[in-house]
Amino acid sequence: MVTLIIGKKGTGKTKKLINLAAEAVAASKGNVVVIEKGAKLTYDVSHKARLIDTEQYGITGYDAFFGFLSGLCAGNYDVTDVLVDSTLKIGGQDFTAFAQFIEKINALATKTETKFTFLVSADEKEIPASLDAVTVKL
């Protein structure tokens, strides 16, 4: 399952992600992974969740990001939840590439039975209509 949380900067997306991570840690029988660009959530996310800073791995662009997420799922079969902050900062501002990325992530989520949640700092009008089914607007 893929969920997009859309909203402009300052609308409470990161606070929502922190709450979702806490809920996932409490409910999960596997591993919860929180991905961010830059180490800003270190003290906000439970130590029971795996916190990953994409800057440490040189991840830029949606192809590299998809490969990273695929490898994460392949290397650890019991990842139940992946929550991503700053999605557009990691992958880029190309919304066509973003839509294609989400389609591939949806297929990965189905194969691995992993829940993916992405925070997107953008106006909802910028998001391709094909992604309306997975979008939560703040």
- Are 54 and 36 in contact by the 8 Å Cβ rule? The answer is yes
- Tally of domains in the chain: 1
pLDDT value for 125: 82
Per-residue pLDDT of the chain (138 residues; tens, 9 = 90+): 899 999 888 888 889 988 899 999 999 999 999 999 988 877 778 888 889 999 999 999 999 999 999 999 999 889 999 999 989 999 999 999 999 999 999 999 999 999 999 999 888 888 877 787 666 655
pLDDT value for 39: 81
CA distance 80 to 69: 13
Exposure string of 19-55, with b = 16+ CB inside 10 Å and e = fewer, is ebbbebbeebeebbbbbbbeeebeeebeeebebbebe
pLDDT value for 93: 92
C-alpha distance from residue 116 to each of 21, 25, 35 (Å):
11, 14, 11
Question: What's the whole-model pTM score?
Answer: 0.90
CATH code, domain with 130: 3.40.50.300
Domain that holds residue 78: 2-137
pLDDT value for 76: 86
pLDDT value for 11: 86
